[in-house]
Structure 1
Amino acid sequence: MRGFQPMNTLRYFELGSLKSVVLLLARILLVFLFIKFGIPKLLGFSGTVGYMASLNVPFPSLATAVAVIMEVFVAGLIVLGFYTRPLALALALFTLATAIIGHPYWNMTGDQVMPNTMNFYKNMSIMGGFLLLMVTGPGAISLDKR
């Protein structure tokens, strides 16, 4: 009976030529949510400004513009793999800010606490994904590699 050999097991996860495809898929999935909810912010800009104002966000027009830029344009650049590492860091910081501003569960009571707690920690997980992307880079299927 052979003993456990972790190094041999890890070779199965190197993925070879599929690694770039997996990194492309990961980039798309990581920003999908931003693009899906960023486009309506862009198309309904004034309504989004009103929503930001209702959250007491300082400078709601500027905050909306930043949200649209990050969620639509920067996320789109991540999909393309353009300036991936610095933009992944920027989206990680943006995600942290939106978690703190948009889901302050520590200031809430009643039925608001649980969904905001979940969304806050989901943002932390997404932030982790962006930090991993910053470290790993976009892979070969990207504008950065051309």
Structure 2
Amino acid sequence: MTRSLDSGVILLARIALAVLFLWGGLMKLAGYEDFVAYLHSVGLPFVSIAAPLSTALDLIGGLFLIVGFKVQPLALVMAVYTVATAILGHDFWNIADPVMHHDMTVHFWKNIGIAGGFLLLNVTGAGRISVDNARAAEGVGSLTSHRGSTRAG
């Protein structure tokens, strides 16, 4: 189990990651037609599936991160999603304009860094301040209560 300070830091990390994805999901919803057009412009296949899936993953993933629900598997999904977004959406190697090349390079490596944060979150888990921890404590508590009720007293 992590120390209290560690759990607070993990909570802050979850919130920091969640804000980025919640904001992105809300922006996708607000400009959904533009988002779909962008996905078409980068040649993404199955845009009719990818656009709502991406939007839902941003919003639901962000909410799950904040409350700390299913964080370890979610972190792996979000790491893969973030790397895929880096490769498909920030392909700096195809950009000739020096300013755009620099911008896309920064965004690409930012996404790789975020994926690294998700991988760390996968290892650490959600911390004490989370639904995951509360659910684990309930499972242990109910097992203990059950054992206690079968003992002769």
TM-score scaled by length of structure 1: 0.84
Q: Identity across aligned pairs (percent)?
A: 43
Cα distance between partner residues in 1 of 2:43 and 2:101: 19
1:122 corresponds, among 110, 117, 126, to 110
Instruction: Report the Cα offset of residue 17 of structure 1.
Output: 2.2
Offset of residue 18 of structure 1: 2.0
Deviation at 1:68, TM superposition (A): 0.7
Q: Is the 8 A contact 2:18 2:61 kept in 1?
A: no
1:66 maps to which residue?
Answer: 53
Question: Could you tell me which amino acid in structure 2 is paired with residue 115 of structure 1?
Answer: D
Q: Is residue 14–residue 65 contact of structure 2 (8 Å, CA) maintained in 1?
A: yes
Shift of 1:70: 1.4
Q: Any stretches of 5+ residues in structure 1 without a counterpart?
A: 1-14
Q: How does 1:1-146 map to 2 (within 5 A)?
A: 16-111=3-98, 112-146=100-134
TM-score (norm 2): 0.81
| Contact 1:96–1:127 (Cα < 8 Å) also in 2 | yes
Deviation, 1:16, is 3.9
Q: Helix, strand or coil: the match of 2:133?
A: coil
SS in 2 for 1:145: helix
Aligned-pair RMSD on alpha carbons? 1.4
Return the offset for 1:44: 3.2
Contact 1:24 1:139 in 2 (8 A): yes
Bigger Cα Rg: 2
8 A contact 2:80–2:115 mirrored in 1: yes
Deviations 1:36-85 (A, max 9, x none): 11112123333321221122111112111121111111121011110000
Aligned pairs, how many? 132
More helix by share: 2
Q: Is the 8 A contact 1:50 1:60 kept in 2?
A: no
Which amino acid counterpart does residue 94 of structure 1 have in structure 2? Y
